[in-house]
Amino acid sequence: MLPVGFWDSTALRQETIRQFDICGSCRMCLNFCPSFPAMFDAIDGHDGEAKDISVAEARQVTELCYLCELCYLKCPYTFPHEWDIDIPGLLRRSKAVNAKTHGIPLRDRLIGDVERVNVLGSFAAPVINVLNRLPPTRLLLEKFIGLDRRAILPSFHWQTFTRWFRKRASVRVNKRRPRHNGKVAFFHTCLVNHNRPDIGIAAVKVLEHNGVEVTLPTQSDCGMPYIDMGAMEHALGLMEKNVASLVEWVRDGSVIVVPEPTCGMMLKKEYPKLLGTDDARLVSENTYDISEYLLMLHKQGDLIEDFRWNPGKIAYHMPCHLRYQQMGSLTPRLLELIPGTTVEAIDRGCSGHDGTWGMKAKNYDLGMKVGRRLFEAIDEGQSDVVVTDCSLAALQITQATGQEVLHPIEIVYRAYGID
């Protein structure tokens, strides 16, 4: 539930000054993202007085924030501290109020309206994918939409994950299991559905290999792309639809499993915070990341470990939105169950992609700078395979290093040799 006064621009200005003033005195987050240097430069430009920063300077801080949430994890002054600092929440509110007051630029709508972009992209997938690789097309996209010509764009698929799932003849639960191993309502995410259906297919086959019944609930976009461009009311509508659908599956005995960390973060952390309903909390309490769920099966003694292949040495990047869920290093622990596998966790911060933020021409170079330390560590690591849970972080790593990057469920799928 949005707090009282959420849309009040005067109250927002007062809260911005209050939180910026505290951050300006602390500066622990100086190197976290581009927002904080911009904030501190603005404060210093007014002799250390946060109250004197201009609306334009505050808006620049907001525009540079890509809502990775890492500063919230590190801040010593978050709730229940009396100062109650929440910079991601503050800047999310700022995006929403600014969008409501001034509207959302057409460029941002064309890039961020994933409901329409993905449907169109999948419908015309072969043509769109070819056009997106042609230099003249990329020049036009950069000029008129703002997508940097150098950025690798996600591919679209005519056979989406949902098309694949629904046309299967039957659910193939592994018959070798002596007992049923639970029910999963699979929240596939828009990214997996339209751009990476192979991840969803691998997840379903791995779950069914382990005796899990997988169902596909009615679902909408998780809402994060719309929050990112300030369309808060639209995002809340999507969240309410998802909760209304998912909560019925939970009450029927299913748990919700998500293959991408941003949508998992939304269901677990943001839905109960922004909606504030009992149903949203119930959905949150029964939502699992795919690696988290498989590791839970392992702890219960229910995970099949008949692995036939090992990937060797893995360089692993934990995405920001998985860190924010504060589950610990679950994916490396899952992958190390595969005999002969070693995992080197590369703790070098954000990849700098962050939804559509890093693909925009105005942010591309800055995004590559954000991820520089991560890219250098991967180049120097001489691993056999690079793995991350976030498909967009994978694009950014490939962009910088040229290396193929896999999702952890793809590793598990290959290790089983299911097909």
pLDDT digits (tens, 9 = 90+) for 224-260: 999 999 999 999 999 999 999 999 999 999 999 999 9
Which residues span the domain enclosing 250? 161-298
Average pLDDT over residues 340-362: 93
Average confidence (pLDDT) over 368-394: 95
pLDDT tens digit sequence for 140-179: 999 999 999 999 999 999 999 999 999 875 555 555 554 4
Q: What is the largest CA-CA distance in the chain?
A: 71
Say what percent of the chain tops pLDDT 70. 97
Q: Report the alpha-carbon distance of residue 8 to residue 268 in Å, rounded.
A: 27
pLDDT at position 339 is 97
The proportion of the chain whose per-residue pLDDT surpasses 90, expressed as a percent, equals 90
Out of 89, 115, 144, a domain closes at 144
Residue 260 inside a domain? The answer is: yes
pLDDT value at 293 more than 80: yes
- Pair 229, 131 in one domain: no
Task: Look up residue 360 and give its DSSP letter.
Answer: B
Contact at 8 Å (CB) between 220 and 241? yes
CA distance 236 to 238: 5
Say if CB 264 and CB 321 are below 8 A apart. yes
Q: Is residue 335 located within the same domain as residue 396? A: yes
What is the distance between the alpha carbons of residues 281 and 286, in angstroms, rounded to a whole number?
9
Domain count, the chain: 4
- Give me the pLDDT at residue 61, please: 96
- Mean pLDDT across the stretch 204-232? 95
Whole-number Cα distances in Å, 146 to 16, 129, 246, 389: 29, 18, 36, 27
> Residues 366-383: what's their mean pLDDT?
94
Mean pLDDT computed over 57-86:
94
Provide the pLDDT for residue 21. 96
List the structure tokens of 339.
Answer: 């005999």
Q: In angstroms, rounded to a whole number, what is the distance separating the alpha carbons of residues 242 and 249?
A: 11
Domain presence at residue 2: no
Residues 273 and 312 reside in one and the same domain: no
Quick check: is 323 in a domain? yes
Residue 139 domain flag: yes
- Kindly state whether residue 234 falls inside one of the protein's structural domains: yes
Asked if residues 313 and 383 have their Cβ atoms less than 8 Å apart, the reply is yes
Three-class secondary structure of residue 182 per DSSP: coil
Find the helix packing angle between 9-26 and 55-64, rounded to 10°: 70
Per-residue confidence (pLDDT) for residue 419, from 0 to 100: 78
Above 70 in pLDDT, residue 374? Answer: yes
Average pLDDT score over residue span 38-62: 95
Calpha distance 185→341 (Å, rounded) = 30
Enumerate residues 6+ apart whose C-beta is below 8 A from 75.
28, 29, 85, 87
Q: Say whether both 115 and 93 belong to one domain.
A: no
Confirm whether 385 is domain-assigned.
yes
Cα 404 to chain center, whole Å? 19
pLDDT value of residue 411: 98
Q: Please state whether 312 falls in left (phi above 0), alpha (psi between -120 and 50) or beta.
A: left
Residues 283 and 233 in one domain: yes
Mean pLDDT, the chain, as a whole number?
94
Instruction: Measure CA of the first residue to CA of the last residue in the chain; give whole Å.
Output: 46
Q: Quote the pLDDT of residue 179.
A: 47
**Selected residue with higher pLDDT from 348 and 245:** 245
**Residue 193 confidence class, pLDDT cut points 50, 70, 90:** very high
The verdict on 73 and 199 lying in the same domain is: no
Q: Give which of 168, 180, 249, 252 is closest to 210, Cα–Cα.
A: 180
My answer on whether 337 and 230 are in the same domain is no
- Can you tell me the mean pLDDT for 362-387? 95
Q: Starting at the edge strand that comes first in sequence, how are the strands of the sheet with 405-406 ordered?
A: 342-345, 313-317, 385-388, 405-406
Asked if residue 97 and residue 45 are part of one domain, the reply reads yes
Q: What is the spatial distance between Cα 306 and Cα 266, in angstroms, rounded to a whole number?
A: 33
Which of these, 18, 59, 65, 66, lies nearest to 42 by C-alpha position? Answer: 59
Q: What is the pLDDT of residues 2-37, one digit of tens each?
A: 888 999 999 999 999 999 999 999 999 988 899 999
Residues 3, 291: Cα–Cα separation, whole Å: 34
Looking at the structure, tell me whether residues 132 and 231 fall in a common domain: no
Report yes or no on 149 lying in a domain.
no
Together in a domain, 252 and 351: no
What does the pLDDT look like over 87-140, one tens digit per residue? 999 999 999 999 999 999 999 998 989 999 999 999 999 999 999 999 999 999
Q: What is the separation of C-alpha 97 from the centre of its chain, rounded to a whole number of angstroms? A: 23
Q: Does 151 map to a domain? A: no
- Does residue 17 sit in the same domain as residue 92? yes
Task: Residue 404: give its domain's CATH number.
Answer: 3.40.50
Residue 262, CA distances (Å) to 189, 193, 222, 333 in order: 9, 14, 9, 21
Let me know: does 249 contact 215? Beta carbons within 8 Å: yes
Q: What is the pLDDT of residue 174?
A: 52
- Check whether 400 has a pLDDT greater than 90: yes
Q: Which two tokens stand for residue 199?
A: 């991840």
Q: Are residues 409 and 315 in the same domain?
A: yes
